[in-house]
A and B are shown apart, each in its own frame.
Chain A
Amino acid sequence: MDLNFTPEERAFREEARRFFRTEVPEKIRRKVEEGHHLSKEDIVTSQRILNARGWAVPAWPREWGGQDWSPAQMYLYQDEMQQANVPSPLPFNVSMVGPVIAEFANEEQKRRFLPATANLDIWWCQGFSEPGAGSDLASLRTSARRVGDKYIVNGQKTWTTLAQHADWIFNLVRTDPSAKKQEGISFLLIDMKTHGIKVRPIQTIDGGHEVNEVFFDDVEVPAENLVGEENKGWDYAKFLLGHERTGIARVGISKARIKRIKELAALERIGGRPLIEDQHFREKLAAVEIELKALEMTQLRVVADERKRERGKPNPASSILKLKGSVIQQLTTELLMEVVGPHAMPYQPSEEGRNEPIIGPEYATEAAPTYFNYRKVSIYGGSNEIQRNIVAKAILGL
């Protein structure tokens, strides 16, 4: 038993740290650090820099650009990337549709989609949730009716993140309405420019526009865009949701935010002294740091365990990472808002070409919106209640 990384792993960490902090533009990393929304261009630029080095899709199979890294390297890569405030490569491409295509699609689809997906030449969005299918995802109703060499798709998806930027959507559709609900679902790739698709923005409580509704009205999709077999889509979706989940704890992101909390708490003053010297505040922060350290150790244990597990099989322990990781992320956003105090109050969305001077310190503008926005992390990707159901069943045998 040894907490230390090997000399090779330590060298890898150094290499990753240097790369992330020198090659990814400071301007983009600062936006992440300060909690501003990234433009499409920011995300594309960053991912292409990573991809040029072969670091956008390290977990993919080697022939499609993967790196065959050890779990420890994978952990170090994510940790350094997050601590450097580098935007994660688009998860819809890298952690979701990419691995599904690599695992289940035919050769032609792989050649067509995988390189473009890694380089973010194609921006994917995820067509899973529907108004009537949230936690109970398998009850989805968007239909795909086979007519000749086409599917005719009708229905509605929702909570579709960044659909406004997307070129393609990977969609769960019902191809057999008479089958048991998990068994009539297929995994279909759809070009967002196809006639009959409409995207409507949903403004979230932070004032931002991340999610959308996507409507399908007699959308014609070539049958060749089906991934794998018809009516096997639920299996592929489960594979997708279980893939690469150790990064879900987002420990590096919480570490970066704690660093920022400490920096800002040194600037804010309470009773004439820097807030960071206030013992009550320090204890609240220390309590979160302890939980975060424990989570990091838990993550390392899961990572170490990955070596012994069958590839592609979801590890129920990742539910713990999601549960605890989401709550800690939320706590850090809460603390950051407390740090800036009343300066959190003015609503000042970042807009291009703003003329008015900023009210209060510039670092305070995103504190409350980030707090509001992060309520999502215990809801998306299987809400924390769903994660508890998974652990109760799969680990505790209840």
Chain B
Amino acid sequence: MDFDLTDEQRLLKDSVDRLITERYDFESRNKYRAEPEGWSRALWEQYAELGLLGLPFPESYGGFGGGPVETMIVMEAFGRGLAVEPYFATVVLGGGLIHQAGSEEQKSALLPQIASGEALLAFAHVERQSRYDLANVTTRAHRADGGWRINGEKSIVLHGDVADQLIVSARTSGSPSDRAGIGLFLVDAKDVTRRGYPLQDGLRAAEVKLDDARAEPLSNPEGALSVAEQVVDAAIGALCAEAVGVMQSMHELTLDYLKTRRQFGRPIGDFQALQHRAVDMYVALEQARSMALFATMMAAEEDPAERRRAITAAKAQIGRSGRHIGQEAIQLHGGIGMTMEYKVGHAFKRMTMIDIMFGDAGAHTEELARLGGLFGT
């Protein structure tokens, strides 16, 4: 049992933290958001130069051989800065799927392109009726002319508006919600119709229509669900780390505010009613941090049931802590917390979207309950 970072991990943390501190103050973030794609291509190049875009891939594919801990370090820093670049969509989800499900050829072709910043990916899995169920897929794939074609509609595809390649979950057999008969397919963005739009937190997504779109299967087109789940579980661990960064930022902003905002002739942080609320936020933050660590260390667990239990518990804790800290951060700031001119409200919105992605606190608590809980089983 060891919570220390290795020297290399510490170096990575120092450099990412420095990057976020120097390049991701609130005003800079507003500028990045105002760029045509809603994020900064210049920063993306810098991430590539720093090796962040290839971090989790093996060195043979132009990567750095990092694991869940390295991803956690980067995501937590991005969370603190509320980074808007498509790192999660391209590297964690897209790269993760290619890495885990792709053929040798696909990996050799795509992973180096991701690492160098040339290729952007997105994972198209949500459908109108699917909610948080990865197995609930009505989009269909069929064989044609020695290849595959896909028909269907995917919704809320994170960064699907800019992705060069989409990874689409599609059904090759069975009925909606069957675990079998689901494939993962690589689809060129030029072969789909898409409509980009902003999400509540300023990140971007797309609605994607596939009309006999040409597709190339990753892994087994009949049975890719379990590998998708494995990648999504690891990605949820990464989201948990990002959430910890967001929460920490909200807590720090709130503490600063309590120490500087004066009313009734003294800093409002002198009032015990507010002190205790700040402490409860801190406890929620530490509980969330603990579970993000737990998720990180369980992300590569081989037993899928154990892994899922850990991930689902972590995501539930993150969601609950995030809501508590976010709501309290706004309340303790008062009116200024309600304005678009101040960072805390943006952090609150990012946190709210993270809670929803891949299942909110309630959905994960429900799932853990169905799985029999964590103790004494």
A residues engaging B (CB < 8 A)? 1-6, 9, 72, 255, 258-259, 262-263, 279, 282-283, 285-287, 289-295, 297-298, 300-301, 304, 317, 320, 323-324, 385, 388-389, 391-392, 395-398
**Would you call B297 and A291 a contact (CB within 8 A)?**
no
Note all chain B residues with C-beta closer than 8 A to A290: 291, 313, 316-317, 320, 365, 368, 374
B375: interface (CB < 8 Å): yes
Note all chain A residues with C-beta closer than 8 A to B290: 294-295, 297-298, 301
Q: How many residues of B contact A (CB 8 A)?
A: 44
Complexed CA–CA distance, A388 and B278 (Å): 9
**Would you call A283 and B366 a contact (CB within 8 A)?**
yes
Note all chain B residues with C-beta closer than 8 A to A289: 313, 368, 373-375
B69: interface (CB < 8 Å): yes
Contact A397:B276 (CB < 8 A) given known A1-B4, A279-B369: no
Q: How far is the CB of B1 from chain A (nearest CB, A)?
A: 5
Complexed CA–CA distance, A298 and B279 (Å): 15
Complexed CA–CA distance, A3 and B295 (Å): 10
Q: How far is the CB of A352 from chain B (nearest CB, A)?
A: 31
Complexed CA–CA distance, A388 and B284 (Å): 13
Contact A397:B259 (CB < 8 A) given known A294-B317, A324-B283: yes
B22: interface (CB < 8 Å): no
Which of A258, A285, A294, A297 is packed against the most chain B CB atoms within 10 Å?
A294
Note all chain B residues with C-beta closer than 8 A to A323: 279, 283
Note all chain B residues with C-beta closer than 8 A to A298: 286-287, 290
Complexed CA–CA distance, A398 and B368 (Å): 37
Note all chain B residues with C-beta closer than 8 A to A255: 375-376
B370: interface (CB < 8 Å): yes
Main SS of chain A's interface residues? helix
Partner of B2 from the list A1, A293, A317, A388 (CB cut-off 8 Å) is: A1
B269: interface (CB < 8 Å): yes
B275: interface (CB < 8 Å): yes
Complexed CA–CA distance, A279 and B368 (Å): 11
**Would you call B275 and A3 a contact (CB within 8 A)?**
no
Q: How far is the CB of B35 from chain A (nearest CB, A)?
A: 36
**Would you call B272 and A389 a contact (CB within 8 A)?**
yes
Partner of B375 from the list A258, A304, A395 (CB cut-off 8 Å) is: A258
Q: Can you give 16 A-B contacts (C-beta < 8 A)?
A: A1-B9, A6-B1, A258-B373, A283-B369, A285-B369, A290-B365, A292-B374, A294-B288, A294-B291, A295-B287, A298-B286, A300-B1, A388-B276, A392-B278, A395-B282, A398-B258
Q: How far is the CB of A275 from chain B (nearest CB, A)?
A: 13
B354: interface (CB < 8 Å): no
B264: interface (CB < 8 Å): no
Contact A293:B1 (CB < 8 A) given known A298-B287, A392-B275: no
B296: interface (CB < 8 Å): yes
**Would you call B373 and A3 a contact (CB within 8 A)?**
no
B255: interface (CB < 8 Å): yes
B298: interface (CB < 8 Å): yes
Complexed CA–CA distance, A324 and B4 (Å): 24
**Would you call B317 and A3 a contact (CB within 8 A)?**
no
Additional A-B contacts beyond A297-B294, A388-B280 (9; CB < 8 A): A285-B369, A286-B373, A301-B290, A304-B4, A320-B286, A385-B276, A388-B276, A396-B255, A398-B269
Note all chain A residues with C-beta closer than 8 A to B377: 262
The A-contacting residues of B in range 2-55, CB under 8 angstroms, are: 2-5, 9
Q: How far is the CB of A61 from chain B (nearest CB, A)?
A: 25
**Would you call B255 and A262 a contact (CB within 8 A)?**
no
Complexed CA–CA distance, A324 and B365 (Å): 19
Note all chain B residues with C-beta closer than 8 A to A9: 1
B84: interface (CB < 8 Å): no
